[in-house]
Amino acid sequence: MRLKPQYLFALILVGVLLLAFAVGTILNASKSGKAEAKTAPASKAADPTVQAVLTPEVAKAYVVTIRGRTESARSVVVKSESAGVVAATPAVEGSYVRKGTVLCLLKVDARQATLDQARAAMRSRELQQKASVDLAAKGYRSQTQVLQDQANLDAAAATVRQAEIGVEQMNIRAPFTGVFDKRDAEIGAYLSPLGQQSCGTMIELNPLLIVGDLPETEASKVRIGASATAQLTSGETLSGRVRYAAREADAMTRTYRVEVTANNPGLIRSGLSASVKIGAGVGPAHLVPLSSLVLDAKGRQGVRYVLNDNRVAFSPVTVLEETPQGIWVTGLQGPVRIITVGQSYVAEGQKVRVGVAR
């Protein structure tokens, strides 16, 4: 039976399509097998490569760093012990003065006359007492009379001393060696012990105080007598020791006041800002590169390192000090292989290949 041409064409077309489908299936299967053959060994062999550096544990002096400021060791408002009018102000405001220097001089008025009168009366009593002693030696004066004359002499001497103190109180003197920082009284001003106006303000700058506030986390590390160094904004460096560390926190800031005393021969000013480093003992520490610090899934700051079996581990650390060579941290134990390259692309427990850090 002879097929019509249109049927024959349809049969050939169907045969060609079936052949093409079969060939495509075979080729796809072959490619898939080759791809699996290539990727399977690669996935098993390609552990990530990191670079690490062996960091030893060393004993390091711990330092607590805080922001502080300089303060005068003492500040005293100098007032008059006696009432009077200011006659002179010999001390220059802002000058360095020795203890006992006259800051303000009051008018003596009648106090000098009172002193002269008391001295004259004492000389009279001295003569009378001497005469009584001579007469008593000759038997012309009783011992009771001699004692009475001696008592009169003592009373006259006390009156002289009282008058001398009254005159001396006209000199308002510096209570200690320091800076006459501010003069409040001018010539002609009236000063009195009960008045509000003072001669001026004295401040002591040697020794100098450097004060700051310790956070709660650092307060327990600071001890009385610990060495301290202050780097001032003016460029000077002061060395001293802790003289006071508060035991009660400030109610508002929850910080603890600390005071450092330092020798100040150059009379550095009060009120300068400073970076204060206080010694807090000696303990284990590691020097690691700053770039090695990472955050774990909990947001803790630390470093990733490699264990003996080349698996990655993480340890949170506390930064002690930053230096040009790196940062000193605590929280690690013994020699540790710190990951310096690739630490951000590996996870805890992952096995890695370790290369030497360049």
- Each residue's pLDDT tens digit, 226-281: 999 999 998 899 999 999 999 999 999 999 999 999 999 878 999 999 999 999 88
Dist. CA 234–CA 269, nearest whole Å: 10
Note whether 83 and 186 are same-domain residues: yes
| 155 vs 125: CA distance, rounded Å | 9
Whether residue 334 lies inside any domain: the answer is: yes
- Residue 267's region, left for phi above 0, alpha for psi from -120 to 50, else beta, is left
* CATH code (residue 230): 2.40.30.170
Task: Please report the beta strands in 263-310, taking only residues with DSSP state E, as ranges in sequence order.
Answer: 273-288, 293-295, 301-306
Closest CA to 278 of 209, 216, 224: 224
User: pLDDT by residue (tens digit) across 20-57?
Assistant: 676 666 666 555 555 554 544 444 457 899 999 999 99
Q: Is residue 326 part of a domain?
A: yes
Amino acid present at 173: R
Based on the fold, state whether residues 276 and 289 are members of the same structural domain.
no
Domain membership flag for residue 31: no
CB 268 within 8 A of CB 236: yes
Tokens of 288: 């690691």
Residue 62's pLDDT is 87
Residue 294 has pLDDT above 60, yes or no: yes
Q: Which domain holds residue 185?
A: 77-200
Determine the Cα–Cα distance for residues 99 and 164; give it in Å rounded to an integer.
20
- Phi then psi for residue 137, to 5 deg, are -65, -30
Q: Are 108 and 170 in a shared domain?
A: yes
**Is the domain of 179 the same as that of 208?**
no
Same domain (yes/no): 167, 124: yes
Q: How far is Cα of residue 12 from the mean position of the Cα atoms in its chain?
A: 96
Average pLDDT for 84-92: 93
Please check whether residue 203 is in contact with residue 270, taking contact to mean a CB–CB distance below 8 angstroms: yes
Residue 342 lies in a domain: yes
Instruction: Say whether both 219 and 266 belong to one domain.
Output: yes
Q: What is the mean pLDDT of residues 308-336?
A: 92
195 shares a domain with 134: yes
- Decide: pTM greater than 0.85: no
Q: What is the per-residue pLDDT across 117-126, written as a single tens digit (0 to 9) for each?
A: 999 999 999 9
Q: Tell me the average pLDDT across 113-118.
A: 91
Q: Is 153 exposed, middle or buried (0-12, 13-18, 19+ CB in 10 A)?
A: buried
Q: How many domains does the chain have?
A: 3
Strand segments, DSSP code E, in the chain are 49-55, 58-78, 84-88, 96-97, 102-106, 171-173, 178-183, 190-191, 200-214, 227-232, 237-245, 256-262, 273-288, 293-295, 301-306, 312-316, 318-323, 326-330, 336-341, 353-356
